[in-house]
Amino acid sequence: MATITKETVPSQSTVKEKIHGMLGVNRQDAKLSLVLISIAFIAFLLGGILGLVQGLNRAGLFELPSWLNYYQVLTGHGVLLVLVFSTTFTIGYFYAAFSHTLGGLLPKVRKMGWAGLGLMVIGVVFVATTIIMGDASVMYTFYPPMQASPWFYVGLVFLVLGIWLYAFGAFINVAHWRKNHRGEHLPLLAYFGVGVFVLLFIGSFGVTAEVLYIIPWAFGWIDTINVMLTRTLFWSFGHTLVNIWYLAAVSSWYVAIPKLIGGKVFNDSLARLVVILSVVLNITGGFHHQIIDPGINEGIKFMHVFMSLSIGFPSMMTAFAMFATFERTGRKKGAKGLLGWVKVLPWGDVRFLAPMIAMISFIPAGAGGIAQTNNQLDQVVHNTMWIVGHFHLTLGVSVVVSFCGIVYWLVPHLSKRVLTPKMNKLGVIQTLIWTLGMIFMAGSMHIVGLAGSPRRTSYTTYGDNATALGWDPYLFFLAIGGTLLIIGCVLMFYIVFHLMFKAPKGETAFPIAEQEEGAHATPYWTERWTVWIILMLAIVAMAYVIPLVDMIFNAPPGSPPFRTW
């Protein structure tokens, strides 16, 4: 009897997969992803409104009411967009991808998904309450010795635990698939998902250690804190998080876009190599946020130029792969000449237009990133508005517009509806308004930052200082950009929920591009995740062991807490 059951298990699962393939999306899995995506876009709208309030204040056009503080608004904007929006969307997207490419989520994993959501909601409630009460105006970077209410940090712990549950769920689901598909390659999109969850899990070790160290200090159980240690632990996570969303965006460029434009995956092996490199080289990149910090010597800072720049390498591979895909697809459609293929691309299709704009914006954004990673150049722009401009290009365009591009097919796929030509047109308008807004906003931020205007500062002329007054015209353009962005933000909110609840019923495919015929087989070593994780840990150790040991064992006297707002 026992042997019979054993033999029937795999065949049962293949039958299930076939049924699943015929019926389309798994309803229960879709619900989880749709709830996550809904939370993401509610956070997107709220965060966007706070962004507008801030931008108008910064330009001197809008005075905040006495019960609202600029820095409170800025903390809310950062937490909602950086922590809530991007994380919930990324998880919702990859759980849908696992469900689709691995033949459905395991019931156990689905339960873990709901539990993870519960933990994250508890965390957000704690964090949001303390911010609204004015007890946590510390920015999403919460640098000690500034000290928020202890419950703010407790909330962060719940958020991290929620993320970990999702990571474990992902690993369990992938392990199960691999057990039943020995010798096969994990589907490319799920492969990206593994990279993302490995980074989410291991990348959050540093910040978890930091928060667990802050909590006893925040409750007053220990008197002082090691400031440099907390900063360094924070940034081991801070920059990784940014690259996680970027990797999520990139996954849709590699897997969905070729399918949507009628092409094929450019090179499966190289796509997987991009994931491996992005995972292995990622965590150490955070150090470049500390280039002008004391307590880290010049030699270590120099080593970190390499650690940070190396992450540009997989991005170069991606840039090549994308444009090669577009050219091949265009030529297949009969395009002639050097650039004829550009014309035959489906520019009117928002599912292509949005990610295409995201990719194009990554050209200046990535170049700016490479420039400012070099120590001396970073010193010119560190903590100025230039940096804010930089991450509004990378995250506000490359990531956000890619995520919006995903919405147009993922949400109708999950809600069993279709994208109508009318909605497509609205999407094109939304994309263009958003892009124009960001050109104004991020553009003026870059210029005014180069002139010296600092980030994270409410409207000020520093006592009518001539230099500071010279920044005002740029800040005005920033406000114009912000106003366009809120229009784009509200439109996107409408589009997401229209596609979820109002669009005509129907079937929308999950676009997964196939390999070229006769493509070279992908080498199986790409599946050796243990090797990549060990390699990643080795590089993290190279980067962090010496400075961290120095910061811990050779620390100056600690700092007591301050509440300065």
Q: Within 383-412, which residues bind other proteins (CB under 8 A)?
A: 383-384
Q: Are 242 and 395 in contact (CB under 8 A)?
A: yes
In the complex, least distance from residue 261 CB atom to other proteins, rounded to whole angstroms: 20
In the complex, least distance from residue 317 CB atom to other proteins, rounded to whole angstroms: 7
Q: Are 495 and 430 in contact (CB under 8 A)?
A: yes
Q: Within 1-20, which residues bind other proteins (CB under 8 A)?
A: none
Answer for which of 9, 19, 21, 143 binds other proteins (CB under 8 A) is 143
Answer for which of 459, 493, 494, 497 binds other proteins (CB under 8 A) is 459
In the complex, least distance from residue 50 CB atom to other proteins, rounded to whole angstroms: 16
Q: Within 286-315, which residues bind other proteins (CB under 8 A)?
A: 290-298, 301-302, 305-306, 309-310, 312-313
Taking the C-alpha atoms of residue 352 and residue 334, their distance in angstroms, rounded to an integer, is 19
Answer for which of 64, 172, 380, 512 binds other proteins (CB under 8 A) is 380
Nearest CA-CA partner of 190 in 265, 240, 277, 251: 251
DSSP string, 92-158: HHHHHHHHHHTTS--HHHHHHHHHHHHHHHHHHHHHHHHHHTTS--STTT--TTB---HHHHHHHHH
* Token pair 């308004």: residue: 433
* Token pair 């019926």: residue: 23
3-state secondary structure (DSSP) of residue 462: coil
Answer for which of 139, 418, 432, 539 binds other proteins (CB under 8 A) is 139
What residue type is assigned to position 418 of the chain? Answer: V
Q: Within 467-506, which residues bind other proteins (CB under 8 A)?
A: 467-468
Q: Within 191-250, which residues bind other proteins (CB under 8 A)?
A: 226-228, 231
Taking the C-alpha atoms of residue 342 and residue 344, their distance in angstroms, rounded to an integer, is 6
In the complex, least distance from residue 530 CB atom to other proteins, rounded to whole angstroms: 20
Nearest CB to other proteins, comparing residues 7 and 514: 514
Answer for which of 21, 523, 542, 545 binds other proteins (CB under 8 A) is 523
Q: How many Å separate Cα 73 from the centre of its chain?
A: 21
What is the chain's percent helix, strand, coil content, to nearest 5? 75, 0, 25
Taking the C-alpha atoms of residue 511 and residue 23, their distance in angstroms, rounded to an integer, is 16
Taking the C-alpha atoms of residue 33 and residue 109, their distance in angstroms, rounded to an integer, is 13
What is the token pair recorded at 164?
Answer: 């970990």
Answer for which of 124, 146, 350, 419 binds other proteins (CB under 8 A) is 146
Nearest CB to other proteins, comparing residues 176 and 328: 328
In the complex, least distance from residue 157 CB atom to other proteins, rounded to whole angstroms: 23
Told to check if 564 binds other proteins by CB under 8 A, we report yes
Nearest CA-CA partner of 477 in 49, 50, 60: 60
In the complex, least distance from residue 227 CB atom to other proteins, rounded to whole angstroms: 6
Nearest CB to other proteins, comparing residues 262 and 556: 556
What is the token pair recorded at 224?
Answer: 């002082």
Q: What sign results for the dihedral spanned by CA atoms 88, 427, 252, 24? A: positive
Answer for which of 13, 129, 374, 424 binds other proteins (CB under 8 A) is 374
What residue type is assigned to position 468 of the chain? Answer: A
Nearest CB to other proteins, comparing residues 377 and 432: 377
In the complex, least distance from residue 160 CB atom to other proteins, rounded to whole angstroms: 23
Answer for which of 24, 60, 145, 340 binds other proteins (CB under 8 A) is 145
Nearest CB to other proteins, comparing residues 139 and 533: 139
Answer for which of 63, 376, 517, 530 binds other proteins (CB under 8 A) is 376
What is the token pair recorded at 107?
Answer: 């019931």
Answer for which of 424, 457, 493, 546 binds other proteins (CB under 8 A) is 457
Nearest CA-CA partner of 76 in 38, 116, 37, 133: 133
Q: Within 311-370, which residues bind other proteins (CB under 8 A)?
A: 312-313, 316-317, 320, 324, 370
Nearest CB to other proteins, comparing residues 15 and 531: 531
* Token pair 């509200």: residue: 490
Answer for which of 13, 269, 424, 483 binds other proteins (CB under 8 A) is 269
3-state secondary structure (DSSP) of residue 217: helix
What is the token pair recorded at 181?
Answer: 């598909």
Q: Within 34-63, which residues bind other proteins (CB under 8 A)?
A: none
What residue type is assigned to position 482 of the chain? Answer: G
Nearest CB to other proteins, comparing residues 88 and 267: 267
Binding mask 77-106 for other proteins (x = CB under 8 A): ------------------------------
What is the token pair recorded at 515?
Answer: 């390999």
Nearest CB to other proteins, comparing residues 120 and 228: 228
